[in-house]
Every structure is written in C-alpha cells, then in structure tokens.
Amino acid sequence: MRDPFLTRTNDFALKIATVNGTGSASANSLLMQAIFRMGIPVSGKNVFPSNIQGLPTWYEIRVNADGHTARSGEFELLVAMNNATYAGDIEELRPGGWLLFDSSWPLPESIKRDDIQYLGAPLARMCAEAFHGGREKLLMKNIAYVGAIAALINVDLDIIRTLLEEQFGARKKALMESNYRAVALGYDYARANFDCPLPIRLEHMPFRDDLILIDGNTALALGCLYAGATVGAWYPITPATSVMDAFRGFCNQYRKDPETGERRFYIAQAEDELAAAGVVIGASWAGARAFTPTSGPGISLMSEFIGLAYYAEVPAVFLDVQRTGPSTGMPTRTQQGDLLLCAYASHGDTRHICLYPADPGECFTMAVQAFDLAERYQTPVFVLSDLDIGMNDWVCRKFEWDDSYRPDRGKVLDAETLEKMDAFYRYLDTDGDGIAARSLPGVHPRGAYFTRGSGHDRYGRYTEDSDAYRDVMDRIARKVDGAADAVPAPVLRRKDNAKYGFISLGGCDAAVREAQDYLAARGVPVDYMRVRGFPFPASVEEFIRGHERCFVIEQNRDGQLRTLLAIETGIARDDLSSILAYGGMPLSRQQVVDGFLAATGLHDGNGMISAPARNGAGERTTA
C-alpha cells in the first residue's frame, strides 16, 4: 500500500541518475528552470564525478512550497538512467515511492523492492526510432526523460517549450524542434501508460519577479566586477574555474571601450597557484583591485605569498570555493575544510579577515565587501564559498546595487598630501587604529618606499631588532582585531524560551534553518546564530555564553569552526558540541536534527529518537 505521506503538492524530492558526459546536465537544468518558472521554490544539487565522461552522475531536485531548499536526502521519485548504479539508486527511494527507468532493457529481478512502484518507459528505443545518429539518440534520450517527468509531476509543457525557444532562438529552430519532439515522446508515453500526474505533483504558484536562478561562482564574478576589480589571476581548479570564466565574460561585455575595443582589464592564467597569488599581490600593490579564485589546494600553495601580503600589508582578495580534502581529495564534492587554513594561512603569526557567504546573493555582496576590507585594512581577505554554493543553481532575490557606491580605498595618500609631508614612513601608525597610510607607485617621489617581506621597522627600514619587529607585528595584530566590527555581523534567528543554540556558517544555513523550524514545531526551541565574518565580533561570544549548550554545525571532520570559536573567544572547546557532516554531500535537515536529538537525549514529536538519516555513508553527525 502506498504511504499516504507521499500524497503531496509542491513538497517532494526527486533524483535523476545518469552517466557523465551524456548531455544530462542540459536536461536537468531545463527541468529545474521550468519548475522555477512555475513559481515554486526549488533547489538543484548536481553530484558529478571529477573525470570528464563515463562515470555516474546524479541530479537532485527538491521542491518545497515553504521555501526550504536544503538537500532532502530522501526521494519520492527516482529516475534511473544508468544501469551501473541501479542497485544503489533504488535503495535511496522512500517506501511507497516511484522508480522511472528505461525499459528498453529489463530491470534485474535481484534488485527489485516490493515496497516501491515501477514505471518503465522505453526511452532509448523510442529515441532510436525517432532520431538519427548515435550521439543525437543518446542526447535526446535525456531530453525524453524530462518529458516523462513533466507528465508524472505536472510540469507545465508550455514553459518547457518557451525555455527551449529562449535557449536555441530563431536561428536554431530545427534544433529546438527536435528537443521538443524528444520531450513530447517522453510526455506522451507517460500520459498514455501511467496514472498522471502522480500523487506527488506540482501546481503553479504566483511567480515572483524579484527572484532569480543563479550559481554562486557567477555571483562572485559579478561582485568582483561591481567592486571595480580589473585584474584577475588564477590557475584552473575545480570548483573555482567558472568564477574566472564568468568574470572574463563580464569584462568583455563591460570593461571594453565601446569605441576602440580597448580592454580595461587584465586576466592571467598563471603557471601555478603561487604565481597567480604573486600577480594579484603585485597588481594590488600598484593600486589595482585584483583577486584570485581557487580552492583548498590552491590556498595551500599560495601560503608563502599570503604571508608576504600580510606582513608587507598589501591588499589582496582570495576567493576560496571549498571542496573535499585533504590533498586532491574529492574535487567534485563539497566541504568546509579550509576554515582554519584561511584564518591563519602562511607560516609565522598571521591572522586573516574571512567572509562566509551562505548563498549566491551573499557571494555577490561579500565579494564587494572583500575588496573594501582588503584596502581599508591593507591585508589579504578571504571569501569562503563552497562547491554546493558555487556550482549549483540557487533561487535568490534579485541583486540590488547602490549607484552611489564608491570603493573604500582606505588610507591612500595622493600627490598633494605627499608633497606637503616632511617625510613619508610606510608603516607608521599616526592615528592609533593600527592602519598606516600607504602610497601608490608613481604618484609622487616622496611616497617611494621599499616593500619587503623581511624584518622591518615602523619606518620601513630593514631590521633584526626584536623591539622594532614586535612593534610592527603588534600593530598589524591590532589592525586585524579592529576588523571584527567591520565584517558582516552574525545573523540571529531566535525562538522563545530557547536554552540551546545552533552556530553555523556558509552553505549549512538552509539545512540549519529548516532544522530549527522543525524542532520548534515539535516543542523544542533552539536559537540560531550564523557567523558571517572573522575576526568574530563580540556578539559571537555573547551568544555562546547566553545559552546552556551550543551546537556548532559544520561540514568537516575535525570541527574547525568549533576550534576557531574556542581559540578566539577563550571558551573551552569541550563546552561546545559538534554536529558534523563531511562525506562531501550538502547538509540536510535530518542530519542536523538527528545529531541534536542524539546528543541531548530529547525525543521527537512521536516520543521516539529520530532515526538516523540514510543519505550519508561516511557521515558523522555528532562528536
């Protein structure tokens, strides 16, 4: 008997299992965009291998009328298009759910379950009869499953056709028609052979024109453009390469002289990550706004130059789209494993400003803030996104921009000021905030100084004197300390009478908010603080001390945010509890709830401890 819980409108999840390199990404994107155009809150998670083609890939879509967009981890509909992963895919389907598979080949009896329903559609055979050429038949099979899904869950076909017209345009009408013919093949077969729509289905909701669908890497690139960045250097690395791809596209559109075609930007693909960091530091020293997008392995390689920028006090922006480590790790899986690396990157005593966006909207705004903070404090600034945010499409509010914005260049002396000075000393703090004024090369001879990463005193002179060295290092520490009130403030979500607190950051946010609401609806109020910047402002410690017990929720094995909180606030690490997920998949609500209930011994609304989530081989939910 079908679980009545599976009768849902605009509240379910589906998973599509295919083979990488077969064009499934376009098909999945088409489906995701069609649901978005129907006005329904939707999220998509692409789980793909790190090779070019031939290995399994999955795409997860969740729709939720209440706007919850974290990964579900449980699926009501599974579309099995890869016979190599049938067995594992079928196990992830909820009891009572539906399995859509390509019945051009029989489904092995050995992997069948008797608590799910099977929907066989001969997609490959139909496409073989309708299209010509092996590649076209393969690609159109994936478009055909979009049609079958559309019939099963009630996706608006008119919207799908409109999207295809927008994609291919009038000049590729024949290609558009063949794609729509493939959609119709799957749709018509499903309508003729299955009860459509299924009890899990979509219904139009009012379309909100204040929302957009965008990935975090594109948003980071757009933020760099709006911030006034003109120099970008990088070495290609998953999952950050598309940041520079997008930035190059924006620059070609907006950073060229409309009359002469002259480029007003410089992009360098360096020979390695260390060289990329050197280009950025050199350009920033010369007065440009410069950045590099990378991931954890790149930050490791850049550490020597990061220390130079910190000690020589050169602005620089590093965009870290985190992936699973250590070493090569799993390049196409998400994680938050670079928190400590970025906070203290390089040898010796260093401490860096870090920003933690939770979605593409904050990727855009925090990219701009990063350049302002880097120049105001004359120091490296890190924006820590992750693969889930960076490479998946998210529904966000349209970005807003204040045309009166002017970059905060910090204490930069112009020629007139330098002319009036008796002498200029690069590392002399004259007003007590730890920030010394800087000059840019070529502005005035009096502003010249020797930039060095070796020991120097407040006057910029080489030294090995202990007191002079400590004087500069202590001033830099005061300078970075002062940034605590300049980084984005934590976001607080409070519930009445809460004695427990959740603390998290970045891509965990959607799952933590959903878990907080889930627990509150069952009589367990929990406050939630999302950290958005480092150094931590005083309100972070106040939140921790204001609760009986706080749970730090993050996506890494060792509890790096928990460690960072303990180091920076003085609160004992053992006084903070961990909920950890580090298997490379985006965090789900159930992982948070299960970790919390297991640690507290509390019961859910049924009087039972919630069962462990099934979506995380290798996931640990408590420390």
Asked whether residue 148 falls in the same domain as residue 219, the answer is: no
Look at residues 441, 461, 484 and tell me which one is the last residue of a structural domain: 484
| Cα distance between residue 548 and residue 524, in whole Å | 14
Radius of gyration of the chain measured on its C-alpha atoms: 27
Whether residues 241 and 370 fall in one domain: yes
Say if residue 191 is in the same domain as residue 265: no
Provide mean pLDDT across the span 75-100. 95
pLDDT band for position 53 (cuts 50, 70, 90) = low
Whether residues 438 and 497 share a domain: the answer is no
- What is the per-residue pLDDT for 609? 40
**Residues of the domain holding 569:** 491-600
Out of 397, 429, 447, a domain closes at: 397
CATH code at 521?
3.40.50.920
Same domain, 289 and 165: no
The answer as to whether 613 is a domain residue is no
Domain contains 358:
yes
pLDDT at 5: 58
Per the listing, tokens 């640990």 go with: 620
Q: Is residue 385 included in any domain, yes or no?
A: yes
Tens of pLDDT, residues 314-350: 999 999 999 999 999 999 999 999 999 999 999 999 9
Helix (H, G, I), strand (E, B) or coil at 343: helix
Mean predicted lDDT score pLDDT of the chain: 94
What's the pLDDT tens digit per position in 544-562?
A: 999 999 999 999 999 999 9
The pLDDT assigned to 523 comes to 94
Reported as a pLDDT band with limits 50, 70 and 90, residue 170 is confident
The answer to the question of residue 171 being in a domain is: yes
Q: Are residues 291 and 352 in the same domain?
A: yes
426 with 384, same domain: the answer is no
Count of structural domains within the chain:
4
The average pLDDT across 595-606 equals 82
pLDDT tens readout for residues 175-213: 899 999 999 999 999 999 999 999 999 999 999 999 999
Per-residue model confidence (pLDDT) at position 42: 97
Confidence of residue 608 (pLDDT cuts 50, 70, 90): very low
Same domain, 131 and 226: no
Both 136 and 20 in one domain: the answer is yes
**pLDDT value for 51:** 75
CATH number of the domain bearing residue 8: 3.40.920.10
**What residues have CB less than 8 Å from 607, skipping those under 6 apart?**
none
Does residue 606 belong to any structural domain of this protein?
no
Residues 63 and 105 placed together within one structural domain of the fold? yes
- pLDDT score of 7: 82
438/464 same-domain check:
yes
Q: State pLDDT tens for residues 252-300.
A: 999 999 999 999 999 999 999 999 999 999 999 999 999 999 999 999 9
| Distances in whole angstroms, Cα of residue 561 to Cα of each of 24, 338, 462, 552 | 36, 10, 37, 7
With respect to residue 615, please indicate whether it lies within any of the assigned structural domains.
Answer: no
Q: Are 152 and 190 in contact (CB under 8 A)?
A: yes
Mean pLDDT of 154-183: 92
Residue in 58, 40, 56, 80 with CA at minimum distance from that of residue 211: 40
Residues 438-458 have a mean pLDDT of 96
φ/ψ (deg, to 5) at 23: 85, 10
Q: Could you tell me the two tokens for 363?
A: 């990727």
pLDDT value at residue 618: 35
Whether 612 is in a domain gets the answer no
Domain's final residue, options 397, 425, 451 = 397
Q: What angle do CA 140, 143, 146 make, to 5 degrees?
A: 155
CATH number at 246 reads 3.40.50.970
Do the domain assignments include residue 140? yes
The yes-or-no verdict on residue 231 having pLDDT over 80 is yes
Pair 151, 276 in one domain: no
